[in-house]
Amino acid sequence: MNAFERKLLSFGAITPQEAAVLTKALRDVRTVAPGADVIREGDKPNDVNVVMSGFAFRYKDTLSGRRQIFAYLLPGDFCDLNVALLGHMDHSIGTLSPCEIAHIPRATILDLLQHPRIAHTLWMCNLVDAATLREWVLNVGQRHAEHRIAHLFCETYTRMKVVGLAPAKEFRLPIPQSALANTVGISDVHVNRSLRTLREKGLAKFHGGLVTIPDIRSLIDYAEFEPGYLHLRLRDQP
Amino acid sequence: MNAFERKLLSFGAITPQEAAVLTKALRDVRTVAPGADVIREGDKPNDVNVVMSGFAFRYKDTLSGRRQIFAYLLPGDFCDLNVALLGHMDHSIGTLSPCEIAHIPRATILDLLQHPRIAHTLWMCNLVDAATLREWVLNVGQRHAEHRIAHLFCETYTRMKVVGLAPAKEFRLPIPQSALANTVGISDVHVNRSLRTLREKGLAKFHGGLVTIPDIRSLIDYAEFEPGYLHLRLRDQP
DNA sequence: CGATAAATTGAACTCTATCAATAGGTGTGG
DNA sequence: CCACACCTATTGATAGAGTTCAATTTATCG
Q: Strand D nucleotides below 7 A of a protein CB?
A: 7-13, 17-22, 27-28
pLDDT of res. B1: 79
* d(C-alpha A233, C-alpha B156), whole Å: 36
Q: Chain A partners of B182 at a C-beta cutoff of 8 Å?
A: 141
Q: Which residues in chain B (180-199) have CB-CB distances under 8 A to chain A?
A: 182, 184-185
Point out the residue among B66, B142, B228 whose CB comes nearest to the CB of A90.
B228
Tell me which residues from 132 to 171 on chain B have a beta carbon below 7 angstroms from nucleic acid strand C.
144-146
* d(C-alpha A107, C-alpha A129), whole Å: 23
Q: Which residue is nearest to nucleotide D7 (CA to C1')?
A: B176
Q: Which residues in chain A (98-137) have CB-CB distances under 8 A to chain B?
A: 113-114, 116, 119-120, 123-124, 126-131, 133-134, 136-137
* d(C-alpha A95, C-alpha A72), whole Å: 10
Contact B85 A131 (CB under 8 A): no
Contact A91, A59 (CB under 8 A): yes
Decide: CB of A177 under 7 A of nucleic strand C.
yes
Span A113-131, average pLDDT: 94
* d(C-alpha B216, C-alpha B60), whole Å: 31
- In B25-144, where does DSSP find H-type helix? 81-86, 106-112, 116-142
- pLDDT digits over B121-138, tens only? 999 999 999 999 999 999
- For residue B236, is pLDDT > 80? no
Amino acid in position B99:
C
- pLDDT digits over A95-110, tens only? 999 999 999 999 999 9
Nucleotide nearest to B207 (CA to C1'): D9
- For residue A8, is pLDDT > 80? yes
Q: Does an H or E element contain B202, and which?
A: none
Per-residue confidence at B2, pLDDT binned at 50, 70, 90?
Answer: confident
Q: Chain B partners of A182 at a C-beta cutoff of 8 Å?
A: 141
pLDDT of res. A236: 46
Contact B88, B42 (CB under 8 A): yes
Amino acid in position A170:
E
User: Among A105-109, A232-236, B92-96, which stretch is predicted with the lowest mean pLDDT?
Assistant: A232-236
Most B CBs within 10 Å, among A127, A128, A180, A224, to test the B interface: A127
- For residue A235, is pLDDT > 80? no
* d(C-alpha A100, C-alpha A116), whole Å: 28
The CA–C1' separation of B209 and D13, in angstroms, is 29
User: Among A77-91, A193-207, A213-227, B221-235, which stretch is predicted with the lowest mean pLDDT?
Assistant: B221-235
Q: CB of A91 within 8 Å of any CB in chain B?
A: yes
The model's pTM is 0.96
Calculate helix-pair angle for A3-10, A16-24, nearest 10 degrees. 140
* d(C-alpha B4, C-alpha B52), whole Å: 7
User: Among B75-79, B165-169, B172-176, B211-215, which stretch is predicted with the lowest mean pLDDT?
Assistant: B165-169
Per-residue confidence at A120, pLDDT binned at 50, 70, 90?
Answer: very high
Contact B90 A131 (CB under 8 A): yes
Point out the residue among B66, B143, B226 whose CB comes nearest to the CB of A142.
B66
